[in-house]
Structure 1
């Protein structure tokens, strides 16, 4: 992951500096929001952004790497602090303020999971972040169990109520994925998986 970060920093004209990226994503409380997750988000973002220019691919790579760098289970606060972490690291590396602000903006888009109209890079990042929902049944079950492990302190009944709310909110969206490629790859499978999990609660 550090190599991906460093390469993207260089594309933006910065000089890579040591970060605690890997240490953060290997924190023991992370059952799902860990190294495997962030690497998959980067892979899927680069797949969806294959036609973007080199600079834009670097921006979305940095945002993907940074988007869950702070994960303390505090929605909203985690995303804001992750964006601040990205700002601090990129500023220290000498990345231009405009590019640093763009990475921050992309990370903050994961707070609402809504891409502004016409924001192609945000759409790419958000679709990549949700791609796991469209996994095959085995992959989805691994995801479900990993997320549950992050809430092991929550009693089963409270978990079922909370999780059902999340699943219904996702299923209530007109479309889960913003990009045409994302919809083609994952929309049908994601809805099948979400509906199956909801039925099983």
Structure 2
């Protein structure tokens, strides 16, 4: 995980942190421990890396890529599948504010990271919000994965919600899928939209159809 901590330190320094290097490293290591919690199956370090890789590849889209990187680090730092609504996103935003303030980031940078983390609750981004577009596109990249990888993602989400009865899970998951399909677009960066929009819609529609089929097959 050394390389990941180095990526964290580079981003937090780039955003203006004034804390000593050991404190920066300790903060990154603490975040990684959160991402490694045993109840996570999709919202893991693997997801964090995938989001960071997209942000790094598309960093030229925004003039504030380090804030987007820090938001990526923090956006699922608090993740409890039993929490309702946007509780996890709000708690993750609060953690980001506390953590980054303690590391000496300027207040404006802390506010921006908090704002970005909160966007991941619904992935609804204003057309002029380039930083928000980059983060949300990176966060939803899995939706456009090849069918087999998408199915692994969907199965991992089900494992995270193993405590929810099948009928309730199908209803809740279907609502999430419909919300994603109802977005004006899943992706805002034009070249990503051109590549990812169609496979994402196909994956979401296929999973939604499968959930409905299972409900009818089981008398749900």
Instruction: Specify the TM-score bucket, using the shorter chain as the normaliser.
Output: over 0.9
Q: Is the 8 A contact 2:124 2:183 kept in 1?
A: no
**Bigger shift: residues 74-83 or 173-182:** 173-182
CA distance in 2, matches of 1:186, 1:123: 14
Deviations 1:162-186 (A, max 9, x none): 2222222222233211221221221
- Of 109, 113, 124, the match for 2:119: 109
Q: Are 1:7 and 2:10 an aligned pair?
A: yes
Q: Is the 8 A contact 1:2 1:21 kept in 2?
A: no
The within-5 A match list for 1:28-43 is 28-43=38-53
The within-5 A match list for 1:3-152 is 3-14=6-17, 15=19, 16=21, 17=23, 18-19=26-27, 20-53=30-63, 56-73=64-81, 74=83, 75-152=85-162
Long gaps (5+) in structure 2:
212-220
CA distance in 1, matches of 2:14, 2:136: 22
Q: CA offset at residue 12 of structure 1?
A: 2.3
CA distance in 2, matches of 1:87, 1:4: 19
Structure 1 runs (4+) greater than 4 angstroms displaced = none
Q: CA offset at residue 51 of structure 1?
A: 4.1
TM-score by length of 1: 0.93
Deviations 1:14-62 (A, max 9, x none): 1342121111000011111111011111111222333434xx1111100
The SS at the match of 1:112 is coil
Deviations 1:69-104 (A, max 9, x none): 000122312111111111112111111111111111
Larger radius of gyration: 2
CA distance in 1, matches of 2:61, 2:209: 38
Q: Is the 8 A contact 1:87 1:101 kept in 2?
A: yes
Q: Is the 8 A contact 2:16 2:105 kept in 1?
A: yes
Q: Are 1:153 and 2:163 an aligned pair?
A: yes
Alignment RMSD (CA, Å): 1.5
TM-score by length of 2: 0.85
